[in-house]
Structure 1
């Protein structure tokens, strides 16, 4: 590969000039601040504003990342759903410490959350599962997430089999599928600024109180 290709990447740069972030701008509770930024991300018509990068660590200490979708959040934490046999679920079972990253590039923002993931109740999972499109409900039964499969055709055949099985019935909640709530221990709000002098504020939980500190970019 010619060196020029690397030169072209090195030359990629953009000044972040949309707005700044000060301590006075921030709400005392990071959930309230997150709710405000999330509303603004929705209003900006971003593609999948609820998409987040979930990082876990394997029992061997290998980090893994993948994109999942935030489905709701409250004072107790942020909730996503998955197959309980998936790789991420296996990691969480061994080490519930996770991190979440919301990359809102077009707003020159990102939010990073560190916390502990725990399963939500079956009743809470069922409430969300019931709201999903029927195809997504059937898909949860079909996908043995993270397992090796021989072909796409096999997956589609399994979908048709399950679709026929539940043809005249409501699709039940699989016992191997449900949600995790990430109880946050810290939030970092990052706003891009010119000359790479970005605004960064870290909320840290200390004795059930949130402390806020500005971080160097």
Structure 2
């Protein structure tokens, strides 16, 4: 019993400590997609060599308070719960930190066990990694399309360029597909993605003006 508790506590701490310096390997989601026949395209890229446009766009789209919260955005959670009580379209309240913890360390699931582990890993990466590393791992691990993971693979697959060359419009389109990357396309956007990308591009301007990405971009 005690040994199991020690392993359950020390194991996550050790893995988070290692991934502070080493790029995380293949994730549970990537394995699942491989079994679904989607392939795997991923190229690790340092946050220093990614376009600031992409950082600002994902903050604008996914987590406007990324630099000010400590892993959990209670106001976003409250708004999501209120929205979900009145609408059939479910809105999530997960931060980029929570999404990173889920994507890198855990399996795709909605159980309470996984949510509890997600919270634990979120606290660990906030304490042991810091915001800049969290964003770097997030942008290198997130699913952008069938078999496409990370900003570099997504930039090349959709626009034929590296992640450091993304324009503000291209970055906004990539951020716009994140809620449903298997459904939407950044290179051939439909009306929904075009509208959403336009809103994200405008919001990314606010992120830049108000310094909401300062914890990543300095």
TM-score (norm: length of structure 1): 0.27
Which protein shows a greater Rg? 1
Higher helix share: 2
Q: Which has the higher contact order (CA 8 A, sep 6+)?
A: 2
TM-score (norm: length of structure 2): 0.27
Higher strand share: 1
